[in-house]
Amino acid sequence: MYELTVIIPTFNEESNIERIINEVDLVFSQSKINGEILIVDDNSPDRTIPLVNLLKITKANLNLLVRKTDHGLSQSVADGFIHASSEIFIVIDADLSHPPALIPIFYAEVNNGHDIVIGSRYMKGGGIKEWPFKRRVISLGATFLGRILFPTVSDPVSGFFAVRKTVIIEASLKPKGYKILLEVLGKGNWEKIKEIPFEFVDREIGSSKLKFKTIIEYARQVLDIVLFSISHPQSATWREWKKVFGV
Ligand SMILES: Nc1nc2c(ncn2[C@@H]2O[C@H](COP(=O)(O)OP(=O)(O)OP(=O)(O)O)[C@@H](O)[C@H]2O)c(=O)[nH]1
Ligand SMILES: [Mg+2]
């Protein structure tokens, strides 16, 4: 049993996979965390899988889950939640856009009693480096919609977050698209949340998978959470709304 599982979803990340695994593992040893690294891959046709298998020979804490059906980022992270061998999960991108150095801080905040810890690009101290204008606009649009649901959260669609297993264990997550965090916020069982600023760095290597379909899927997801919240008066969405608007 591990203290923490770092879940890394991957699709065609042969140019980044070794570096991210080594960096996360280094952070584990430097901060004396007995952590698991769980790669959740959607059967990448490139060399991601053989490279992970090679690293597995020397790293006992490295595990690989290869998915063959229901391709998708959110679905992969949700599968990671099911297969993780610990009670605390941290989700991080493979392309080094998220700094692994923050892992011990996220972990400490969960141990301090927070149910969810979010790496935020949109709070003071956070930011985004070298993003094309189109990406900025799409991200701001998605964040704006997410903030209508969660006005107390500055970055409700971040891909870099920690979550306690108890938050999602009984949640009826319907993972689709790119924004698993919004699903966790909308349907999970949580009370205390903390955001930590970080600077998102655009991928240097490998290709982006953002498509128009992603935007449509996101709009559907927001609508689904609205419907879920209407039919679940005890949900976190209502509680957060009451905090802000006193409704
Ligand atoms: N398992 C799985 N992982 C995925 C999928 N799509 C993306 N990923 C991984 O999820 C993480 C985030 O994906 P990115 O493509 O970097 O998304 P992004 O940061 O919004 O866009 P770019 O960095 O510009 O490509 C990376 O680790 C990807 O390898 C998928 O369909 N399945
Ligand atoms: Mg990326």
CA 76 – ligand 1 centroid, Å: 11
pLDDT at residue 9, rounded to an integer: 98
Q: Which residue type occupies 138?
A: I
> Ligand 1, closest atom to CA 71?
31
Tokens 């392309």: give the residue: 95
Q: Which residues line ligand 1 (CB under 6 A)?
A: 9-11, 13, 40-42, 71-73, 76, 93-95, 97, 159, 203, 208-210
Distance, CA of 68 to CA of 39 (rounded, Å): 14
Distance, CA of 237 to CA of 247 (rounded, Å): 12
DSSP string, 142-164: HHHHHHHH-TT-S-TT-S-EEEE
Domain ranges across the chain: 4-245
pLDDT in tens, 161-196: 999 999 999 998 998 888 999 999 999 999 999 999
Evaluate if residue 152 carries a pLDDT over 90: yes
Fold of 4-245: Spore Coat Polysaccharide Biosynthesis Protein SpsA; Chain A (3.90.550)
Query: Do residues 199 and 126 make contact, with C-beta atoms less than 8 angstroms apart?
Result: yes
Mean pLDDT of the chain: 94
pLDDT at residue 213, rounded to an integer: 81
> Ligand 1, closest atom to CA 12?
29
Name the residue of 6, 10, 14, 211 to mutate for ligand 1: max ligand atoms within 8 A of Cβ: 10
- At 9, is the secondary structure helix, strand, or coil? strand
> Ligand 1, closest atom to CA 67?
1
C-beta contacts of 211-214 below 8 A and 24+ residues apart: 214/177, 214/178
CA 171 – ligand 1 centroid, Å: 24
Residue 35 is classified by DSSP as E
Give the number of whichever ligand sits closest to the CA of residue 97: 2
User: Measured between alpha carbons, how far apart are the two ends of the chain, in Å?
Assistant: 43
Non-local CB neighbours of 129 within 8 Å, separated by 6+ positions? 199, 200, 201, 202
pLDDT in tens, 133-144: 888 888 898 999
Give the number of whichever ligand sits closest to the CA of residue 215: 1
pLDDT in tens, 63-73: 999 999 999 99
The pLDDT-based confidence of 108 (bands split at 50, 70, 90) is: very high
